[in-house]
Structure 1
Amino acid sequence: MDAYESPKEVDFHFDVMCPWAYQTSIWMRDVRDQLDLKVNWKFFSLEEINLREGKKHPWEREWSYGWSMMRIGVILRRLDMSLLDKWYALAGKALHVDGNRPHNPDVARHLLEQIGADPAIVEESINDLSTHEEIKAEHDRVVNTGGFGVPTLFFPDGQAFFGPVLLDPPTGDAALRLWNAVTAWLEFPNLYEMQRPKTASDDKAIYDTFKPYLEARDWVSINRGKVVGFEPDA
């Protein structure tokens, strides 16, 4: 891209399990609604990218936390992208705000009913092995680009960004300013990274925001092979 041009479409890769991607998705929807931006929700598996040696791949288990929620998402997306949008918004809120467990099949059925979908989609997703292939293909797309986590955004010109990584997603004019700041990077394909160091107060704010998720999760968070703890230093 020779000069900055705001894109009209973006692929947003997510895993329902990821608290950071959930925060960014709130901002993404705000931008979408203001700009009539087309957002294509795509998948990425934290379980697979952080798989420990000797453990089964998520597609080798009948039910796997984030992977199975995405399998439900595949069925919904085949019906209509808006259903996946609603599913991600509701399941994400259930986990990251309300401290519930959307990765529990019974909770997943209840959430499907709330978005007007058939709760039998849980069983349909389990029985439809092709859902594995869709998720793997989208996961591999991120990995093959050098990506390692979510949120990852893909733009029409082929460029991809990890982030933005947000704790308090902006809305309104502030959301648009951030969108402009993010997409301005498209003009500079050799600009790779800019990062803000986290202070002790930042760590506490992260812990406080993620507390519902931390209490609801039934797994250990792993990042690039290392167990991640969110508890702030005393």
Structure 2
Amino acid sequence: MEETDVDFWFDPSCPYTWVTARWLTEVARVRPITLRYQVMSLSVLNEHLEVDPEGDTGGYLWMPVRVCAAVERHHGQDGLRRFFTAYGARVHEHGDWDFGTALTEAGLPAELAAAASDESYDAAVRASHERGISLVGKHIGTPIIAAQGTAFFGPVISKAPRGEAAGRLWDGALLVAATPGFHELKGIPHQPPDLT
């Protein structure tokens, strides 16, 4: 089976995106994919709305994406993957939003936490966000996956499948997304993320 490049746009604050990221990590164990992390932002996505569906009136959600942009700028894809993995586990599994600790756990300089309040990273966040959104349209959210010439939102899952079940979901998602004219597929009402 030929190696597949997969671009994964994520906002690190979204718990469902974290579950999708855990699923993709599992997919990489059972399918020949090369996973590349790309930053997107719920703040950018929702900035034109009168009411922010995330309830982030203080702009806090800008902070983690700025740190992600700084990590990628200074430490590349591997650094971004390591930071998102450490930060995602701290935030979504333990409720700890400490950038510095996550950076240290990822083997990165804790000083990069200062990027959280550095608006000079906003242009990089916006550019990456736009690359992802341009593939699927502004009517969706996080995450976005692009692979094998197609792109799609999601899958939004409450629990990450493991092993071959993760691979089957991957195969099915690609098959459905690549179908000409495909637009949307929804399941039962969502359940809270199962982060175990």
Pairwise TM-score range, normalised by the shorter structure: 0.7 to 0.9
5+ residue gaps, structure 1, are 56-60, 211-234
Provide closer, same or farther for how the CA distance between residues 118 and 175 of structure 1 changes in structure 2, counting only shifts above 3 A.
same
- Could you state the TM-score of these two structures normalised by the residue count of structure 1? 0.70
Q: 2:61 aligns with which of 53, 62, 66?
A: 66
| C-alpha displacement of 1:9 | 0.8
Match of 2:124 in 1: 134
Alpha-carbon separation, structure 1, partners of 2:4 and 2:174: 11
Contact map agreement 1:150 1:163 (CA 8 A) in 2: yes
Structure 1 residue ranges (4+ consecutive) displaced by more than 6 angstroms after TM superposition = none
* 1:3-82 alignment, distance < 5 Å: 8-51=4-47, 52-53=49-50, 64-78=59-73, 79-82=75-78
Number of equivalenced pairs: 186
Match of 1:227 in 2: none
| C-alpha displacement of 1:196 | 1.3
1:176 aligns with 2:167: yes
Alpha-carbon separation, structure 1, partners of 2:167 and 2:60: 33
Q: What is the root-mean-square deviation in Å for CA atoms of aligned residues?
A: 2.5
Alpha-carbon separation, structure 1, partners of 2:176 and 2:100: 40
Structure 1 stretch 45-54 or stretch 16-25: which is displaced more? 45-54
| C-alpha displacement of 1:124 | 4.8
Alpha-carbon separation, structure 2, partners of 1:187 and 1:53: 34
5+ residue gaps, structure 2, are 53-57
| % same residue | 24
Instruction: Flag the structure with larger Rg.
Output: 1
1:94 aligns with 2:90: yes
Structure 1 stretch 133-142 or stretch 164-173: which is displaced more? 133-142
* 1:103-114 alignment, distance < 5 Å: 107-114=98-105
Structure 1 stretch 45-54 or stretch 8-17: which is displaced more? 45-54
For each residue in 1:24-65, what CA deviation from the matched residue of structure 2 results, as whole angstroms up to 9, or x when unmatched?
Answer: 00000111233341111112111222234499xxxxx9xx43
Provide closer, same or farther for how the CA distance between residues 164 and 54 of structure 1 changes in structure 2, counting only shifts above 3 A.
closer
| C-alpha displacement of 1:143 | 3.4
Secondary structure of the structure 1 residue equivalent to 2:110: coil
Contact map agreement 2:15 2:92 (CA 8 A) in 1: yes
1:116 aligns with 2:107: yes
| C-alpha displacement of 1:18 | 0.8
Match of 2:187 in 1: 196
